[in-house]
Amino acid sequence: MKQSLLLLFAFSFTLAAAQPCIPNSNSVAFDGTGSYIDFGSATAIDTLSGPVTIEAWIFASAWGFNSAQNSIFCTHGWTNGEQGMVLRAGGTGILSFNIAGIDTQLIPVSWQEVESPINSIPLNTWTHVAGTFSGTDLKVFVNANEVASIPFFGRIVPSSYGAKIGKLADQNQSPGRYFSGNIDEVRVWNRALSASELSTSMGTHLDPTGAIGLVGYWRLNEGSGVSISDLGNGSGNGTAINSSWSLNVPFNEVPPMPVITWNGSALISSASFNNEWNLNGTPIIGANGTSHVPTQNGTYTVTTTGLNGCSATSLPYLLTSVGLGELSSDRAIMIWPNPAQDLIYVKVNTRLEGEAELSIYDIRNKLVRQTYRSEAGNQGVSINIADLPRGVYRLSIVCGSDKLNTRFLAD
């Protein structure tokens, strides 16, 4: 079992190494009146004609007066003709995905829009939103659940307006349909993602090198300055305008800090997987379970690691009263092997006269085994401990007025 745990840990670590841990520490806060992210002139992202997916995490602090407000990601406009696409949220918590459409006969058919029911998105709550166009239908998703769809056969009119996050792309139109609240993890794909794909990836940083069809990816995790990096194809680097960095984020791949407790015989980690126990700051070889039976005193910590390589380490736990390092073993008693799994062999190095009482007590001083042997300590005896839980035990030998004690570890 220990070997299996070790192999599992090693396998998980190998997976994590492919995508280094990048804590999600920031999002961008938009004031709803003049802050946005500008990507400059139109790039390949603006010219996407479908299939396409736009997704993001939003924390809306206020809604506009209708569903056309609160632009999340936008390439659309109409000053120089109806072009592009937009994912937005406004009105009474309505999610909208709108495209400038061309039908299969290459005839412009104006705006094609799919809207969620009202109150699909709450205020002041992180919500994952997405809009997809497959070439045959438009859909919107809230927290990876499809909430509305409409049929449309065709494609999107490419845009020349230049993409924006948090604002209408068309600079010549006013008001600018600014977003109120925070936005994080904006992604644009050149394919229509399914609900299961959205569900699998929405709560994690993506590894761009392995994400098929990811053409624009803004983690919005820089935390300072105004430069916004595109981790997709890199052509969509942007500039933050009048916005601010926020520590409010929808998810963080750093696992919760584990807590160590003591159950009387073992240290217990609150983390249910991928634990690594440390003694005085040094990893204990093979100690990767949710519990660890200590063999010596010292300062213990436990580190838990997620599949993406992000780790968290507990506060130190100082152990002073349990463990083989402090067992002050009476040299008159020999126990081997120690630690032991099935049998222990006991021999007393001093002469005992009469019947010897051999007793085993657990860490709570509860009697768990008792046997009597005539001069057994002198001759040596074996005791079956296979049914004892892992932990530290006290062996007591009483023979007349002689009392001997030592401890051993059942492993």
Which of 380 and 117 is assigned the larger pLDDT? 117
- The answer on pLDDT for 79 being more than 70 is yes
For 53-67, what is the mean pLDDT?
95
Distance (Å, whole) CA 71 – CA 166 = 5
Mean pLDDT of the chain: 86
* Cβ partners under 8 Å of residue 44, min gap 6: 215, 233, 235
Give the pLDDT score at 175: 84
- The answer on pLDDT for 13 being more than 50 is no
304-325 per-position pLDDT tens digit: 987 767 888 999 998 876 544 3
For 212-229, what is the mean pLDDT?
95
- The answer on pLDDT for 250 being more than 80 is yes
Look at 95-99, 120-124, 127-131, 291-295 and tell me which has the smallest mean pLDDT.
291-295
155-193 per-position pLDDT tens digit: 999 999 999 999 999 989 988 999 999 999 999 999 999
Enter the pTM of the model.
0.68
For 343-348, what is the mean pLDDT?
85
Q: Which residue has the tokens 């069809």?
A: 213
Domains of the chain and CATH, by start? 2-10+254-319 (2.60.40.10), 25-246 (2.60.120.200), 327-410 (2.60.40.3080)
Give the pLDDT score at 302: 96
Q: How confident is the model at residue 357 (pLDDT cuts 50, 70, 90)?
A: confident
Q: How confident is the model at residue 20 (pLDDT cuts 50, 70, 90)?
A: low
